[in-house]
Amino acid sequence: MRKNEVIRAQRDFRLQQEQSLLSEINYLQKRLEEMGYNGDCAYERAIEGKFLQRLQDRRHSLALLRNGGRIDINQ
């Protein structure tokens, strides 16, 4: 592979990672809004907590990616 092809492949891979993170962030935000942030039972509160933690993790990963850091989106 030539240098330009490598650079293009790396850029395309980063864009795919970013799109994947944005998609998951969007999904989590919508689900949290649908649930209403006020679970009526322990199960709903536990799910809400897990979603909030996952959302925070994904936002952090996106920030790292956008700042040139390496991430593993499969965590």
Residue 37 has what pLDDT?
74
Tens-digit pLDDT string for the chain (75 aa): 688 888 888 888 889 999 999 999 999 999 999 888 777 788 888 999 999 999 999 999 999 988 886 666 565
Instruction: Note whether 20 and 73 are within 8 A (CB).
Output: yes
Residue 24 has what pLDDT?
97
Residue 53 has what pLDDT?
97
Listed by start position, the domains of the chain span 3-66
First to last CA, the chain: 30
Question: Global pTM?
Answer: 0.78
Residue 31 has what pLDDT?
92
